[in-house]
């Protein structure tokens, strides 16, 4: 193990189970509140993106704790997953904009996608070959931030009922 890696082993030992627990709780929250997001494709993509954000620290932590400490592999996998989830979300977002089914609330989901793209890109960059081990510090902060983004993203998806619900239509001024 590299000298600096020893300092980070305890961090990743803590991040992996915390991330796994938060991921499981968010998964249950999405299942219990499926009516709030399950009928709208854009919200489905937002829910998936928040789960991907929350799973990133788990993936990095598990790869880092694997014998040999291949944290760069975890960063590459999590970064690619994050960028892929943003791409899928943006496709649904553009479809909603073109189909004129977008609500002002949905723009907040798009802001989250842009933030996820930035952090996933930083995670991917920090995991490239020949990157100094000091990037473990950056990966550590990104892991913490991805957990926060995942929880906030889930809250944004679950906070408002789907637009085809009568109460949501009335709140948006579309009801009778």
- What integer is the mean pLDDT of 117-138? 69
What is the tens place of the pLDDT at every residue in 9-50?
Answer: 888 889 999 999 999 999 999 888 887 787 778 888 888 888
Tell me which residue has tokens 């694997």. Answer: 66
What is the tens place of the pLDDT at every residue in 41-96?
Answer: 888 888 888 898 899 889 888 888 887 767 777 778 888 888 888 888 888 888 87
């Amino acid at each position: 193990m590299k000298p600096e890696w020893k300092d980070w082993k305890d961090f990743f030992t803590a991040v992996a189970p915390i991330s796994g627990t938060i991921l499981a709780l968010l998964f249950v929250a999405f299942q219990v509140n499926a009516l709030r997001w399950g009928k709208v494709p854009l919200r489905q993509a937002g829910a998936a993106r928040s789960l991907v954000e929350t799973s990133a620290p788990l993936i990095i932590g598990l790869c880092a704790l694997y014998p040999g400490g291949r944290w760069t592999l975890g960063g590459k996998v999590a970064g690619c997953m994050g960028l892929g989830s943003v791409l899928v979300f943006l496709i649904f977002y553009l479809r909603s904009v073109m189909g004129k089914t977008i609500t002002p609330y949905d723009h907040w989901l798009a802001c989250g996608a842009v933030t996820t793209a930035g952090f996933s890109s930083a995670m991917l960059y920090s995991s490239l070959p020949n990157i100094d081990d000091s990037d473990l510090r950056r990966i550590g902060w990104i892991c913490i931030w991805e957990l926060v983004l995942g929880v906030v993203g889930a809250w944004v998806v679950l906070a408002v009922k789907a637009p085809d619900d009568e109460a949501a239509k009335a709140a948006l001024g579309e009801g009778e």
